[in-house]
């Protein structure tokens, strides 16, 4: 349609979440019509982000500094760790501005069906953090799914012997990158409504 460069651009864009072939063609056309204004700044932002952004060695958040800006922030409450499935969930909680403790990104949930065991998740570093740090409470903000519940129980059994209180956020909250759809009030209520597990 416009040469191999255009085909490649469209096929790469179409692989992004929320994009299909149609929206990829529209985005490619929009950029190609104003390459200086839309395309080159995007290209350099992509290159810079790919080079600079890495997972935080402590919590697993993605940031251009390591430890990430949350772990490095002296104002955060270090007695609280909120365990989330994905960086998307962490970012959604941060956007809502309702939580001021630290985080830990698991990278998924235990799943017998998909063959995901504890060794596939960021579990060991969590137990070390809780065992070594000034942590009083671990909040499990995992999905309200069978796998989310299984993971929460499994984690709670290993966290409680370390002398911390273990809580779960209110039920009915979709997690696993799905927190974006919730308004701040719902997120705040889910955090406030946490209970021992």
Should residue 81 be labelled a site residue for Zn ion when binding is judged by CB under 5 A?
Answer: no
Should residue 105 be labelled a site residue for Zn ion when binding is judged by CB under 5 A?
Answer: no
Binder among 13, 27, 28, 56 for Zn ion (CB under 5 A): 56
Q: Please say which residue, 9 or 56, places its beta carbon nearer to Zn ion.
A: 56
Q: Please say which residue, 54 or 153, places its beta carbon nearer to Zn ion.
A: 54
Q: Please say which residue, 67 or 170, places its beta carbon nearer to Zn ion.
A: 67
Should residue 93 be labelled a site residue for Zn ion when binding is judged by CB under 5 A?
Answer: no
- What gap in Å lies between CA 180 and CA 137, rounded to an integer? 24
Should residue 71 be labelled a site residue for Zn ion when binding is judged by CB under 5 A?
Answer: yes
Pick the stretch among 54-62, 116-124, 133-141, 150-158 that binds Zn ion (CB under 5 A).
54-62
- What gap in Å lies between CA 7 and CA 20, rounded to an integer? 14
Q: Please say which residue, 24 or 141, places its beta carbon nearer to Zn ion.
A: 141
Q: How far is CA 28 from the centre of its chain?
A: 28
DSSP secondary structure string, 31-62? HHHSIIIIIHHHHHHHHHHHHH-EE-TTT--E
Q: Please say which residue, 71 or 93, places its beta carbon nearer to Zn ion.
A: 71
Q: Can you give the C-alpha Rg of the chain in angstroms? A: 20
Give 102's Cβ-side CA count (13 Å radius): 27
- What gap in Å lies between CA 126 and CA 124, rounded to an integer? 5
Should residue 68 be labelled a site residue for Zn ion when binding is judged by CB under 5 A?
Answer: yes
| DSSP single-letter state for residue 17 | T
Should residue 126 be labelled a site residue for Zn ion when binding is judged by CB under 5 A?
Answer: no
Should residue 175 be labelled a site residue for Zn ion when binding is judged by CB under 5 A?
Answer: no
Where do contacts with Zn ion occur on this chain (CB under 5 A)? 56, 58-59, 61, 68, 71
């Amino acid at each position: 349609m416009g040469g191999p460069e255009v085909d490649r651009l469209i096929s790469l864009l179409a692989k992004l979440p929320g994009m299909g072939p149609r929206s990829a063609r529209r985005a490619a056309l929009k950029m190609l019509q104003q390459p200086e204004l839309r395309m080159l700044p995007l290209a350099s932002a992509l290159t810079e982000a790919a080079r600079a952004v890495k997972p935080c060695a402590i919590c697993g958040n993605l940031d251009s500094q390591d430890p990430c800006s949350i772990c490095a922030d002296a104002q955060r409450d270090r007695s609280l760790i909120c365990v989330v499935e994905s960086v998307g969930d962490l970012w959604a909680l941060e956007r809502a501005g309702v939580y001021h403790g630290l985080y830990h990104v698991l990278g998924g949930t235990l799943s017998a069906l998909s063959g995901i065991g504890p060794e596939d998740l960021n579990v060991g570093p969590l137990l070390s953090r809780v065992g070594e740090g000034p942590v009083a409470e671990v909040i499990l903000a995992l999905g309200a799914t069978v796998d989310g519940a299984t993971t929460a129980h499994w984690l709670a059994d290993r966290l409680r012997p370390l002398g911390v209180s273990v809580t779960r956020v209110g039920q009915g909250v979709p997690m696993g990158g799905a927190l974006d759809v919730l308004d701040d009030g719902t997120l705040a209520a889910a955090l406030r409504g946490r209970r021992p597990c």
